[in-house]
Amino acid sequence: MTMYPLLDTIHSPDQLRKLDRKQLTQLADELRAFLIDSVSQTGGHLSSNLGVVELTIALHYVFNTPDDRLVWDVGHQTYPHKILTGRRAAMTGLRKPNGIAGFPRRSESPYDTFGTGHSSTSISAALGMAIAAQQAGLERRSVAIIGDGAMTAGMAFEALNNAGAMDANLLVILNDNDMSISPNVGALNNYLAKLLSGRFYTTMRRSSEKVLGVMPPVLEFAKRAEEHVKGMMTPGTLFEEFGFNYIGPIDGHDIDVLVATLQNIRKLKGPQFLHVATQKGRGYQPAEENPGRYHGVGKFNPTDGSAVAASGNKTYTQIFGEWLVDMASQDERLIGVTPAMCDGSGLNAFAERYPERFFDVGIAEQHALTFAAGMACDGLKPVVAIYSTFLQRAYDQLIHDIALQNLPVMFAIDRAGLVGADGPTHAGSFDLSYMRCIPNMVIMTPSDENECRQMLFTAFQHDGPTAVRYPRGGGPGVTVQKSMQVLPIGKGIVTREGSKVAILAFGSMLTPAMQAAERLGASVANMRFVKPLDIDLIRQLAATHELLVTVEENAIQGGAGAAVMEALQGLSADVETLCLGLPDVFIEHGVHETMLAECGLNADGIVAAIEKKLT
């Protein structure tokens, strides 16, 4: 007997839409059970997906997908969507090499209407699709599903402001999982939502506006009365001011209410806003009790939620978190800032120890940087903990608000280089390229755990903008010294003396470079700094070797290797060169070590590239 009798019959939304509405609750139970079992075997995002099971079913039940467009924000809430759109069997390969992605991918399915990985893009994209339908004279509907966390970003409000001024058929669904399902999201609100989304109310409202339009004072009184009544019962005044018809909040786990409300809204014209309250981790007690821990998980035991044992090496994120607490105890000017990545960036212990000096600004990368700049102007020493891929979103602030004013803001850049299962949307492939062209920046690349700690200390002491970029996961397993020392800025060190070939390694590439050098009899330099470069060391190596090879876990274009080439040109050095790094493609998700090997950035790849160059 199959474990999922109803889910087993659903291979597309067309089949879902043939179900009797009374069957949807059973389908939700089966889908939730399948999610827990599936993610326990592959790892991935769990809490957020458990919270949108009923909403996902209702959306595909009511809307004619994929003709009607569903645009999911961030994308870590799309596992139920993938399962219902023909990819249930493929979930065994989730985030694995040649398997399906953990986020929506347009190339993966026609139901994935927009590729997402960064937050707060859904409303803009869905609005664009709504306008495209309007231009083509189509009745197609566009729906943006955005979380309450993603609503903290300025881009979401820019899109709302623009959409409210248009007459496009756009529905924005706010998936509010920070709000408990309390009495205000109960029978009364569910009833009001169905009433306010119904044709009778909408027709009456528009007709009244036409009639009262000839009497402006009466129309103004009617509008104020309506806003007053709705304001007492719903928190939608803000969204009404943007020009949306606000409906909700409703219980996002009551599938009957969801379907009825969405069916009404689908018939309405113009911009609509539906507020849905959900619970992260719904239906799985460990995730309900600790949704943060189960947001992104490795393999786990579904019976009790216990994690499958992983590598024992300390991660660079942990090294940073420990340094931050130690440094804060020595300097009260230190302020920790993160854009909604407290846990992922290793700030939990700091936040608990120094809550008055910890600021999680939400998904608002641009604000995070300028906020830090303002503090730096008045004597504080902000440390911005941010993923490499998310720093891209605040590039203008990095240049104009921090570097141009030469402010002492320190960046702890996590997830630099390839990130394995999360794939190209989360890879930190470009930070060396986009940072090193900015004046006043000091950029450091630690090669091991201890060097990371010393570089963090060095960066914090510097009176100007600094960045320490380190990869996801652990390093080579070097013992970390609790004492801290300032490293000489712009100075590398020779870690192996050889002949003929010199490998200039940046950051995480030192270990494979050393392994390759042992086989080649080559010299190795741990360059440490991308900016400023150690020009004297480059001059010395160029004068004593026939071939200089740069190795970095960053895009070759404009990266550390390109910086070395520029330096050699300035030195008029007559030496052969070879730059190794990430190729000019977006690299798909997979196992980190395998991905590096495929890019030629392991010891075998480095040896092969050098031997080919020498022949």
Would you tell me how many other CB atoms lie within 10 Å of the CB of residue 526? 25
Helix 199-212 and helix 216-233, axial crossing angle in degrees, nearest 10? 150
State the virtual CA torsion across 113, 115, 117, 118 in degrees, nearest 10. Answer: -90
| Residue in the block written with tokens 């994209």 | 125
Tokens representing 289 are 């009790």
Catalytic sites, residue numbers: 280, 365, 393
R_g of the chain, CA atoms, integer Å: 27
DSSP state of 482: S
* Among 388, 386, 324, residue whose Cα is nearest residue 357: 324
Contact between residue 35 and residue 80 where contact means Cβ atoms under 8 Å apart = yes
Which residues are 172's β-sheet partners? Answer: 144, 273
Number of neighbouring beta carbons within 10 Å of residue 5: 11
Q: Is 173 helix (H, G, I), strand (E, B) or coil?
A: strand
- The DSSP code sequence of 573-608 is ---EEEEEEE-SSPPPP--HHHHHHHTT-SHHHHHH
Residue 204 near residue 123, CB atoms below 8 Å: no
Cα gap 110→87, rounded to integer Å: 12
- Which residue, 11, 30, 38, 32, is CA-closest to 95? 38
Asked if omega into 476 is within 30° of 0 (cis), the reply is no
**Is the Cβ–Cβ distance between 529 and 444 less than 8 Å?**
yes
Q: Which residues of 437-466 are buried (b: 16+ CB within 10 A; e: fewer)?
A: ebeebbbbbbbbbebbbbbbbbbbbeebbb
